[in-house]
Chain A
Amino acid sequence: GAGVSQTPSNKVTEKGKYVELRCDPISGHTALYWYRQSLGQGPEFLIYFQGTGAADDSGLPNDRFFAVRPEGSVSTLKIQRTERGDSAVYLCASSLTTGRGSEAFFGQGTRLTVV
């Protein structure tokens, strides 16, 4: 269907709170990626899923960050005990499969502000 959809588009939360960010990938795309983009920087890899399993979570900064994709479609990025340093735009992308030749399509991102 349409492109990658991320909700909410903006989220303001207080330091110490828990947040969930949702990503709806393009229908039929098996690979799903989360990136974090700080102001004035390029996106930084967090985690990617192939189907339901996390194939590589080496970019998650610490154990406060966790992501799931229980049915191989929608994914949720969960951040516990948020800190002001977590403020950034969280980008989700999906691709038909992995590997060269399979373009990754990005959503518009969720702008997270921790106050």
Chain B
Amino acid sequence: QQQVKQSPQSLIVQKGGISIINCAYENTAFDYFPWYQQFPGKGPALLIAIRPDVSEKKEGRFTISFNKSAKQFSLHIMDSQPGDSATYFCAASIFGNEKLTFGTGTRLTIIP
């Protein structure tokens, strides 16, 4: 059973634009929602994370929006840059870092 659904599968955005990736979850016991960035040949790296008691968290150009009632959360990348081109994974867990459940990933390409 896929507990975290991620869309779109791939995304092309012009440099300077806003990249938006969406995730939906099923398990209401999830209480930790991180986003990971993965470059080819590398392991995932934590980008930003949110807890369900806040609706938004911003770190630099990266923002997570969280809608608890809809069981959805999204990543917004403002002023997207070519260096942001990577695969992005949303994830969720119940007790923090243990047993992360990942989405299927979004391959983001930023074009000049």
- Interface residues, chain A, CB within 8 Å of chain B? 4, 31, 33, 35, 40-45, 48, 55-56, 58-59, 91, 93, 95, 98-109
Contact = CB atoms under 8 A, between A and B. Distances in A.
Q: At the interface, is chain B mostly helix, strand, loop or mixed?
A: loop
> Which range holds the interface residue count of chain B?
20 to 34
Given A103-B46, A106-B43, A45 B97 contact: no
B45 A48 contact: no
Interface of B: 4, 6, 31-32, 41-46, 49, 51, 89, 91, 95-105
Given A42-B89, A100-B51, A108 B96 contact: no
B95 to A, nearest CB: 6
Contact of B102 (A40, A42, A55, A101): A42
Given A99-B95, A100-B32, A93 B102 contact: no
B91 A107 contact: no
A100 B32 CA distance: 7
B10 to A, nearest CB: 11
A43 B89 contact: yes
Contacts of B42: 108
Nearest to B9: A40
